[in-house]
Amino acid sequence: MSREPMNVIIIGAGTGGLCLAHGLKRHGINVAVYERDRTRADGLQGYRVGINAHGVASLKACLPPDLFATFVATCARTPGHFNILTEQMTELLCVPLDDEEMSGGKSVSRMTLRQVLLTGLEEQVHFDKTFTAYEQHADGSVTAHFADGTHATGDLLIGADGARSKVRRQLLPDARVETTGIVSIAAKVPMSEASRALLPPKVLDGITLINAPKGFGAIVHVMEFPWSANGPKEGIGSSDAELLARWPGLLLDNTRDYLMWAVWGALRNLPANPKSLGQPALLALATEITDGWHPNLRALIRASDPATAFSLDIRTSVPVDAWDTTNVTVLGDAVHLMTPGRGVGANTALRDAALLAARLGDAQSGKLSGRDAVAGYEAEMRRYGFHAVAESRKQFDERDALHRPVVGRMALGAMRTGLRVVNNVPLLKRRMIAAENEFRGAEPAAQGR
């Protein structure tokens, strides 16, 4: 006797929520996604997100094969190197990101990933729906209420509504998100011969972190795509060209090759609070922060498109104890918001999505009860999710010695010495690579290297 399909409500059409929706569809589960943005084209952001091994595996598990192929085809060129430089662009560490070493993962525009994940969910995603509260009923169902007076009822409600999650506030009222004291400024630079000339080959071909005095840091990453808004570029496979020509998301995406950068530091060490500044003033502040840095890095800031500049107050979740499992749960930033220190926020949300989809698939097939499926997901998600929160905070916290006036100089010197030693001792570099691959879910590096 066939089972009635489970009815699942997802609040929020972010990366994790949309990946989960695809996964649930593959398991024959009815799913409806409610998003506060008014249209599919709202909320588009063109900055990079790195998809590591966990993220790629999660997308492959949840997406239909042809849509996963579209994801792969729309990724930017895979980074060739991971670099750490001083503010004078002197090398501290360089790791080749090849299959035999440290996995470079996939680089994709956030805007593009959103369009890929919305593809095929046209009947499931409901826009212009601002969630207000949920109501649980004695029969085991749950109802989501929206600001426009409408509501939706299902068997399970999942909060995938980000850092300011209203679902989390109701489900876990004691859960907290706190500031790290670190703020960031970022912008985009259109790729051109002039911008390329400012950077050495390894930086053009990789992800580069800048390790600077006063606890200041920066990232530079080049995003080059095999396609454009006018269609696939010459040189990519004909099968990919045909695939992208059929992809409706291409019509809504305005991605061009670009270079992204960000600078950050402890708010108390900055000349001004970025939150109070307009876009041109943000670029001026970034220029002031980088006073004394290599002139080419400062030239990149001056070459930025002011309309793309924004600031970010780096915040993080405070881990919470286990809670009683009900017919409401949460995933992604709604429960384990983390700093960009380890670059795994979106990947952890994707990991949540694949895990929860698999658990609910088992419930749909009768292998588990619905409650046991959700409880198992929550237990495992708390383990790896809050571990990632803690590891990410180590890289972005104003309490770190690097941000102190005197001790910071000694800490910076020690860090740079350590990076140089690792860079020049193959055994230490392999150990570092193995540890990072394990954290990011990549296959172990080849033995005997």
> What is the count of structural domains for the chain?
1
* Token reading at 399: 């309490």
* Alpha-carbon span 121 to 123, nearest angstrom: 5
Residue 449 belongs to a domain: no
The CATH number covering residue 154 comes to: 3.50.50.60
Residue 2 gets which letter from DSSP?
A: P
Domain around 231: 7-440
Please give the angle made by the CA atoms of 382, 32 and 357, to the nearest 5 degrees: 40
Q: Is residue 445 situated within a structural domain?
A: no
Distance from chain centroid for Cα 377: 21
**Rg of the chain, C-alpha, whole Å:** 22
Say if 164 falls within a structural domain: yes
* DSSP states of 78-120: PP-EEEEEETT--EEEEEE-STTSS---EEEEHHHHHHHHHTT
Residue 446 within any structural domain of the chain: no
pLDDT digits 0-9 by tens, 140-177: 999 999 999 999 999 999 999 999 999 999 999 999 99
Three-state secondary-structure class, residue 171 = helix
Q: Give 247's pLDDT tier (boundaries 50, 70, 90).
A: confident
Q: How confident is the model at residue 449 (pLDDT cuts 50, 70, 90)?
A: very low
Amino acid 243: pLDDT: 75
Q: Does residue 2 fall inside a structural domain?
A: no
Asked if residue 62 lies in contact with residue 26, where contact means CB atoms within 8 angstroms, the answer is yes
Task: Assess if residue 391 is contained within a domain.
Answer: yes
Q: What is the pLDDT of residues 326-384, one digit of tens each?
A: 999 999 999 999 999 888 999 999 999 999 999 999 999 999 999 999 999 999 999 99
**The predicted structure's pLDDT at residue 445:** 36
Has residue 246 been placed in a domain? yes
> For residue 448, is it within any domain?
no
The alpha carbon of residue 442 and the mean position of all alpha carbons in its chain are separated, in whole angstroms, by 17
Among 98-107, 118-127, 297-306, 358-367, which is the least confidently predicted range?
98-107
